[in-house]
Structure 1
Amino acid sequence: MAFPSGPHRRPDASLSVAKYRLRAARYDLELLPFEPVRTEAIAVLDPRPGETVLDVGCGTGLSFGPLLRRLGPQGRVVGIEPSPEMLELARQRVAVHGWRGVTLLQAGAAEAPLEGLADAAMFHFTHDVLRDPQALDHVLAHLRPGGRVVAAGLQWAAPWMLPANLFVLGAALYSVTSMEGLEQPWTLLAKRVQGLQVRTRGFGGIYIASGRIAEHAPRPHGAG
């Protein structure tokens, strides 16, 4: 990749909250061009009636509607979001639509007070979470054996795809706190799930990765 990957530092949770405090009011508009990615990621995740899905870094709740349409009246979405400003907008969205199957948790992915085992987890444009082993381990430990995972977001395209990489650079500068791993953002996930498949979109600047939790994965104390 011709562009530097940025400082090789761990994601900064407090900086991320500060970034999204500034972005909250315009977030839905900024994400509008990526809605086809969200739609495809949810299709890949394949939520089923009655299941529980963890929406990690749920933002303003843009994924809630599409998820709930597949989950049906008995399904449940657990939205995890550290930014109070973003979560307040998600809360308003839930109230406007009268969704009863949504639980909102204001917490980072590594500390979210999750209960029981969910059926699937979605990471939509959550680069910092995907590069945080503690956060990944905490979320994935609360999926049932065989649970499904999908992650979608930005990645560096091939070096000769300059327009795509300029787009990725511009989007990443205001949305992530570390560009470490932007060449292959799913590498930590690949070590934790089985059968990882990666699809690329946007001339290589966007990925959708999916896999499953092992059928005999160890469970943390209190997760089952």
Structure 2
Amino acid sequence: MIPIAGKYSTFAPFYDVMSGEYPVYRAGREIGIRALNQLPGTQVLDIGCGTGLNFSLLQQQVSPHGIIVGIDRSPEMLVQARRRAARNGWANVILIQADATELSSTDIGSRITAQGGRAQSDAVLATYALSLMKDWETAWANMVSLAAPGASLCVVDMQKPVGLAATLTPLAKAACWLGGSNIEAHPWTAVERDCADVKAAATRGGHLQIRTGTYNTET
């Protein structure tokens, strides 16, 4: 079996076509990013940005005057993200190769500022990324550290479908297995645990779970 990192390196050029983005997963991105509700000129940090599938939605909020920082551990995925930015003329995108579970938030912040961004962002999100990480709690801690005071935090991820859609569980499990995700990880629970003013949403039969909140400094 190909390791997760190897999968995303090998299939990076074809990821957008193979990922089931528009029939399934785009819906979760749209709900999560809409809930971030960022103003023009703000900076958003996209953890595990992959090929940049969040960028067009984020651009609609931050405008060319804002900044989008994408972090991913796969250089091959970042090649695709860089091409997406260039193709669309997005000069406000900063891309950094880093593993959010290994580098400290201080290291990542320094690399962001070196490219003209700010060490702390007005919003931080992870879409379908934390469930790929064995130590996603460390990545979450880095998300929190890289968020400015009062910033919005958003996690979009997957679980088994529920209700009538539960019949699709084998398909959902197979999709997660192929992508290397742990369908039992439920990383959005960190938002519920550590944030205030939490907004909860779900779509695609509960398979996609979305949580957005403001980090609670008293936790």
Cα-to-partner distance string for 1:60-111 (whole Å, 9 max, x where unaligned): 1111122112111210000001111111011111122221111000111132
Q: Structure 2: which 5+ runs fail to align?
A: 111-118
Distance 1:15 1:213, change over 3 A: same
Three-state SS of the structure 1 residue aligned to 2:179 is: coil
CA–CA separation in structure 2 for the residues paired with 1:185 and 1:130: 11
- Higher relative CO (Cα under 8 Å, sequence separation at least 6) belongs to 1
Three-state SS of the structure 2 residue aligned to 1:55 is: strand
Q: Is the 8 A contact 1:130 1:136 kept in 2?
A: no
Deviation at 1:130, TM superposition (A): 8.8
CA–CA separation in structure 1 for the residues paired with 2:39 and 2:199: 20
CA–CA separation in structure 1 for the residues paired with 2:165 and 2:96: 39
Counterparts of 1:26-65 in structure 2, within 5 Å, are 26-29=14-17, 30=19, 31-33=21-23, 34-65=25-56
Superposed structure 1 runs of 4+ greater than 6 Å apart: none
Distance 1:41 1:169, change over 3 A: same
CA–CA separation in structure 2 for the residues paired with 1:98 and 1:196: 34
1:119 aligns with one of 119, 122, 130: 122
TM-score normalised according to structure 1 size = 0.81
Structure 1 counterpart of 2:81: 90
Structure 2 counterpart of 1:209: 211
Q: Report which stretch shifted further, 55-64 or 33-42.
A: 33-42
CA–CA separation in structure 2 for the residues paired with 1:192 and 1:69: 28
CA–CA separation in structure 1 for the residues paired with 2:173 and 2:91: 38
CA–CA separation in structure 1 for the residues paired with 2:138 and 2:52: 24
Structure 2 counterpart of 1:103: 94
Structure 1 counterpart of 2:137: 133
Aligned: 1:75 with 2:66: yes
Alignment root-mean-square deviation, CA: 2.3
Distance 1:161 1:73, change over 3 A: closer
CA–CA separation in structure 1 for the residues paired with 2:211 and 2:65: 27
CA–CA separation in structure 1 for the residues paired with 2:181 and 2:204: 22
Distance 1:164 1:102, change over 3 A: same
Deviation at 1:131, TM superposition (A): 5.5
CA–CA separation in structure 2 for the residues paired with 1:177 and 1:35: 17
Cα-to-partner distance string for 1:7-50 (whole Å, 9 max, x where unaligned): xxxxxxx9321121233122111223222222222111112111
Structure 2 counterpart of 1:4: none
Distance 1:149 1:117, change over 3 A: same
Q: Is the 8 A contact 1:77 1:103 kept in 2?
A: yes
Structure 2 counterpart of 1:185: 187
The one-letter amino acid of 2:6's match is A
CA–CA separation in structure 2 for the residues paired with 1:130 and 1:188: 15
Q: Is the 8 A contact 1:164 1:202 kept in 2?
A: no
Distance 1:187 1:36, change over 3 A: closer
Q: Structure 1: which 5+ runs fail to align?
A: 1-13, 219-224
